[in-house]
Structure 1
Amino acid sequence: MLWVKSLHLLFLISWFAGLFYLPRIFVNLADETTPAAIERLLLMARKLYRFMTLLAVPAVVFGLWLWLGYGIGKGPGNGWMHAKLALVILVIGYHHACGSLLKKFETARNTRSHKWYRWFNEVPVILLLLIILLVVIKPF
């Protein structure tokens, strides 16, 4: 079980590194006017999004393995796991929202400001904090 947990954490941390960095690229894209710089940032964003997606899959698979295979968070008194799973669904939705925003940048249809992306960039930090608190403290 410790191998599965270690791999889950490794892929989770790597995935979140991308979730922290991609919106930062969006901040720069929303503020950039130079075509060459925009193309460079789009290339970076495309590569990062593809890599993040590859990291998300094993993070979710190993997490499901821990939950379903080893029974972590099952049974009475494990309401924290339901809350955590709801937050994980929000993280996956955030990941997909990043892909949608990337497509808008690629087709020059972005209408949001760099300030909006600065706030958007904080969402995964809050989600990760809440998930960590639920897993460590198990409040309910």
Structure 2
Amino acid sequence: MFMLTIKVLHIAAVVFWYAGLLYLPRLFVYHTEAEDDISRQRFCLMESRLYWRIMLPSMVVTLICGLLLLPNYQGGWIGIKLLLVLLLVLYHIYCGVVVRRFVIGGTPHSGRFFRIFNEIPPLVLLVVVWLVVVKPF
């Protein structure tokens, strides 16, 4: 029962984390294209709250629960999944860097960059779900 509870927490935390990973770069697009200070300040507030209050706690719970579940899985697929999770953690950290750059008044990249940047998490999710369900090796 304990491990099933951990699995439920892991899946829920992944959903919350992913909501932020998908939405925050879209906010970056809007922020980059904002033309007035009031809008830019509003985006800074929204981005900071999303990152610190939702994404970071969700990522921490995801990683802790995932580590607790890790002994239950074997095979080469888990190594690839862990590499993809590491990629997502690095993506998450970079999102935090961007949030900070916006707060101090910079525009780190173009809207086009952030539109492309926003495509990374869905692609990673597709591969991770395939690995978990199919367990190809």
- TM exceeds 0.5? yes
Paired position in structure 1 for 2:60: 57
1:84 aligns with 2:81: yes
TM-score (normalised: structure 1): 0.92
Q: Deviations over 1:30-81 (max 9, x none)?
A: 11111000000110000000021011111110010000xxx2223xxx0000
Counterpart residue identity of residue 90, structure 1: L
Among candidates 129, 135, 138, match of residue 132 of structure 2 = 135
Q: Does the CA contact (< 8 Å) of 2:51 and 2:96 recur in 1?
A: yes
Q: CA RMSD in A?
A: 0.9
Residue equivalent to 1:119? 116
Aligned to 1:40: 42
Q: Which runs of no fewer than 5 residues in structure 2 stay unpaired?
A: none
Count of aligned pairs between the two proteins: 134
Residues in 1 aligned to 2:101 and 2:44: alpha-carbon distance in whole angstroms: 11
Q: CA deviation at 1:105?
A: 1.2
1:11 maps to what in 2?
13
**Identity of paired residues, percent?**
38
One-letter amino acid matched to 1:92:
V
Question: C-alpha separation between the residues in 2 aligned to 1:114 and 1:49?
Answer: 19
| Separation in 2, partners of 1:111, 1:97 | 11
Q: Give distance in 1, aligned partners of 2:94 and 2:108.
A: 15
Q: Which moved more, 1:107-116 or 1:20-29?
A: 107-116
TM-score (normalised: structure 2) = 0.94
Looking at structure 2, the residues matched to 92 and 106 of structure 1 have their Cα atoms a distance apart, in angstroms, of: 21
- Point out 4+ residue stretches in structure 1 off by more than 6 angstroms: none
Segments of 5+ residues of structure 1 without an aligned counterpart are: none
